[in-house]
Amino acid sequence: MVSTGGMSIRSAFLGFYKKVQPVIAPGLQYSQAHYEQALSIHIGQGKDWMDLGCGHSLLPPWRAEQEQRLVARAKTLTGLDYDFAALQQNRIIHNRVRGDVSKLPFTDNTFDLVTSNMVFEHLQEPQIQMSEIFRVLKPGGTLIFHTPNKYGYGVLAVRLVPERLKKILTWILQGRKSEDVYPTYYRINSSSMIRALAARTGFGVKEINLIMSSATFVMIPPLMILELLWMRLLMTDSLRSLRTNIIAVLHKPAR
C-alpha cells in the first residue's frame, strides 16, 4: 500500500512538471535525449562498438525500442562494467565483460566507437583511463561520453550534502536504489579539463557540448519552480558554462 501510494504521488508530481516546464523553460530537453542523438549520428553499419560502464542499459528504460534500433545498427556491441550485479541485469547487450577501465581486457585497436553514459564523473584516474580507451580504439575511432558539468548547480549542491544523506536524497528525487549510487570525483568534468586530458592522451576534440537537462526537484514543487526559472537563464549563451551536463566527442587520429 505504501509503495502504491508513493508511486501515485510521484506520478502526480511528474504530471505537474510536464505541464509547467514548457511554460517556464520552453525548449528544455532531457540530457539523455541529447546523448541519444549523439549516438545516432556516430553509430553506423560495420562498426565495432564498446559501451563503458554499461550497467543495466544504454539508455533510460522508457527508450528501450530506440535502444534496440541503435544496437542493431552496429556490427558488434560489447558492454563493460566493474559492477557484476548490474552487468547481469543488462538484457540489451549480449557480449558483456566485467572489467576495469584502468586496464581494459582488450587488444590494441579493437573498437571503432567507445561510448559512456554518466560514468566519467566516477573516474579516479582519468588520464590513465583515457589512455586505455585511446589504446583500444582503432585509428580514426571515436569516443563519446555524457557526464555532469562540475560547475553545474546540481554538482555544486551534491558536494554540500553529507555522504549519509546522498543515497536517501537520490531515492527521493530520482527513484534510484542505493546500490546504483557510486562515488563521484569530477576529475574530467569541465570543458577545460576534457581538453587538457585529451591533449595529454593523444585525442583530438571534435565537440564539447554544454547542455541542460530536466529539473532535479520534480518531487518538491516549490523548489522545482525556482529550478526551472534558473534553468531558463542557463539556456542563454551568457551562462552556457554553468549548464548541468556535458556531451564530449573525441577522436583518435587516423595516424
Q: Looking at residue 1, what is its pLDDT?
A: 38
Q: Looking at residue 3, what is its pLDDT?
A: 47
Least confident of 179-193, 203-217, 223-237: 179-193
Q: Looking at residue 233, what is its pLDDT?
A: 97
Please tell me which of 123-132, 152-161, 177-186, 214-223 the model is most confident about, judged by mean pLDDT. 123-132
> b or e along 48-71 (b: 16 or more beta carbons within 10 Å of the residue's beta carbon)?
bbbbbbbbbbbbbeebeebbeebb
Evaluate if residue 149 carries a pLDDT over 80.
yes
Contact 48, 113 (CB under 8 A): yes
Provide the grid cell at 179.
546500490
- Give the pairing of strands 137-148 and 111-117: parallel
Instruction: Give one DSSP letter per residue of 36-76, joined into a string.
Output: HHHHHHH--TT-EEEEET-TT-SS-GGGHHHHHHHHHHSSE
Query: Quick check: is 158 in a domain?
Result: yes
Query: Quick check: is 14 in a domain?
Result: no
Query: Quick check: is 159 in a domain?
Result: yes
Q: Which domain holds residue 61?
A: 28-243
Q: How confident is the model at residue 61 (pLDDT cuts 50, 70, 90)?
A: confident
For 128, other C-beta atoms within 10 Å of its C-beta total: 13
Q: What is the DSSP letter of 94?
A: S
Query: Quick check: is 10 in a domain?
Result: no
Average pLDDT for 83-93: 89
Cα(30)–Cα(211) distance, integer angstroms: 9
Which three-class secondary structure state does DSSP give residue 253?
Answer: coil
How many domains does one find in the chain?
1
Evaluate if residue 93 carries a pLDDT over 90.
yes
Average pLDDT of the residues of the chain: 89
Least confident of 43-52, 175-184, 230-239: 175-184
What proportion of the chain, given as a percentage, has pLDDT over 90? 71
Evaluate if residue 53 carries a pLDDT over 80.
yes
Q: Say how many residues make up the chain.
A: 255
Query: Quick check: is 121 in a domain?
Result: yes
pLDDT tens digits for 175-192? 555 445 568 899 999 999
Evaluate if residue 120 carries a pLDDT over 90.
yes
CATH of residue 132: 3.40.50.150
Evaluate if residue 117 carries a pLDDT over 90.
yes
Q: Looking at residue 66, what is its pLDDT?
A: 92
Contact 77, 93 (CB under 8 A): yes
Query: Quick check: is 9 in a domain?
Result: no
Query: Quick check: is 136 in a domain?
Result: yes
Query: Quick check: is 76 in a domain?
Result: yes
Q: Looking at residue 175, what is its pLDDT?
A: 54
Contact 148, 120 (CB under 8 A): no
Provide the grid cell at 68.
534496440
Average pLDDT for 9-36: 93
